[in-house]
Amino acid sequence: MKVTKINFMDKTEKLTIMNKVLRELDDLVNSETSLLKKLGQLEADNINLGDKVLEKDLSGIYEHVDNALSETSALQTTYTGIREQFIKDNNLEEVVANANITAAS
């Protein structure tokens, strides 16, 4: 199979977008982790305050954010595997090494 310049560019452009998606997923994981920390702080503050509304609602919000974090982390792991397979399937290992376009950097 002859690889044309157009096909090669399409593959590298797709890889660039895949890397961007992984960076954005990483940002989401970091944001959700930060939210959990803040919610934990609010729950700790409420121990002294004893507000029943905060007690009830904060735990529910914490649970939702924790579930979102688990789902986002799982998606990030899955998509990293998809990206790695795309690199192998399209023989882009050398391109990745030379151009340093990996999501991990």
Helix (H) or strand (E) holding 24: helix 5-49
Question: Residues 36, 66: contact at Cβ < 8 Å?
Answer: yes
Domain boundaries along the sequence of the chain? 26-99
CB contact burial 64-97 (16+ within 10 A = b; e otherwise):
ebeebbeebbeebeeebeebeeebeebebeebbe
pTM: 0.79
Count CA atoms closer than 13 A to 40's CA, side-chain side: 7
Tell me the pLDDT tens digit for each residue of 8-49. 668 989 999 999 999 999 999 999 999 999 999 999 999 999
